[in-house]
Amino acid sequence: MSEVQHPLEDYTRRGMIPHIWCNGCGDGIILGEFLRALDELKYDINKVVVVSGIGCIGRISGYTGTDSFHTTHGRALAFAVGVKAVRPDLKPVVISGDGDLFAIGGNHFIHAARRNIDVMVICSNNFNYGMTGGQSGPTTPIDAYTTTTRYGNIEHPFNLAHLAAASGAIYVARWTAIHVKRIRESIKKAINKKGFSFIEVITPCPEEYGRRNKIPDPIQGMKWLREVSVVRSFIDPIEAVVQPDKIVVGEFVDKEKTEFTELLSASTQTVQSKLEKEGKLTNATI
């Protein structure tokens, strides 16, 4: 009797599954919906490069059947930008965490968005550094408890949707781990956009954030996300709040803008043409 093949087996790296994520963590949902999106689009996985940083979600680059790279902390976008600049025919997809992308990697994020380079970013936002001990991060809500905010967080968190939109992203969406079909549809839309796109997925972290904030049970965490989520698409992203009693989700930005590598190619051709006319184009120049 032949073994039954998993419907997404062609999109995963053999020998690496099952994954290591905890019960109730949303990272497995992100992986599943990303692969289902590729499958439904019949997207050429040889044209996709998955890049991740440090953190629980950072393991995702080892699970996909695409070309992939697991970078150092905060440098996923820097690597992805380099891939796109050198190989414009490829589609880099950065899948990383809120701490990796917006703490040590924050500068890379705003400038990649500003340049509108053709990279899709999926951020797994679990409100803390879940892998390294549950410390507070740039998205930890006010008054939330972590290992480094034992009396409640006093730092105002980033509104990631607003930050992405203000930095220049041409597609911005936010969903939670319960919005599985909406995550998939946003991925399908974003991966076909020509420019910088950003999808935030708010995911439970039962073991670290959940235990300290009275939502330790995986099912309880999913119920909480269902109860507090409000869909309000295409509002001003500054109004897309994330609070303990209200998480605004939806698509907030969907527009077109000239992409960075197209401008880079045109600029290179202009310089080469000018040097040729001046007789200065040599092998050393190229």
pLDDT, mean of residues 139-145 = 97
Q: What is the pLDDT of residue 78?
A: 97
- Residue 134: phi and psi, rounded to 5, are 80, 30
Query: CATH assignment of 9-255?
Result: 3.40.50.970
pLDDT, mean of residues 93-104 = 96
> Dihedral of CA 263/45/38/55: which sign?
negative
Listed range (41-45, 173-177, 276-280) with the worst mean pLDDT: 276-280
Q: What is the pLDDT of residue 247?
A: 98
Q: What is the pLDDT of residue 274?
A: 73
Does the pTM surpass 0.85? The reply is yes
Selection from 187, 189, 191, 215 nearest residue 203 by Cα: 215
| Contact between residue 124 and residue 203 where contact means Cβ atoms under 8 Å apart | yes
Q: Is the pLDDT of residue 120 over 70?
A: yes
Around 123, how many Cα atoms within 13 Å sit in the side-chain half-sphere? 31
pLDDT, mean of residues 33-49 = 97
Q: Is the pLDDT of residue 216 over 50?
A: yes
List Cα–Cα distances, 30 to 50, 52, 71, 138, 200, in angstroms: 13, 13, 19, 21, 10
What's the pLDDT tens digit per position in 174-206? 999 999 999 999 999 999 999 999 999 999 999
User: 170-204 burial, b for 16+ CB within 10 Å, e for fewer?
Assistant: bbbbbbbbbbbebbbbbbbbbbebebbbbbbbbbb
| Contact between residue 13 and residue 62 where contact means Cβ atoms under 8 Å apart | yes
Q: What is the pLDDT of residue 91?
A: 98
Could you tell me how many residues make up the chain? Answer: 286
What's the pLDDT tens digit per position in 259-272? 999 999 888 777 77
Q: What is the largest CA-CA distance in the chain?
A: 72
Q: What is the pLDDT of residue 1?
A: 47
Domain boundaries along the sequence of the chain: 9-255, 258-286
pLDDT, mean of residues 139-159 = 97
Q: What is the pLDDT of residue 282?
A: 63
Q: What is the pLDDT of residue 268?
A: 79
pLDDT cut 90: percent of the chain above it: 85
Average pLDDT, the chain: 93
Q: What is the pLDDT of residue 28?
A: 95
Q: Is the pLDDT of residue 93 over 70?
A: yes
pLDDT cut 70: percent of the chain above it: 96
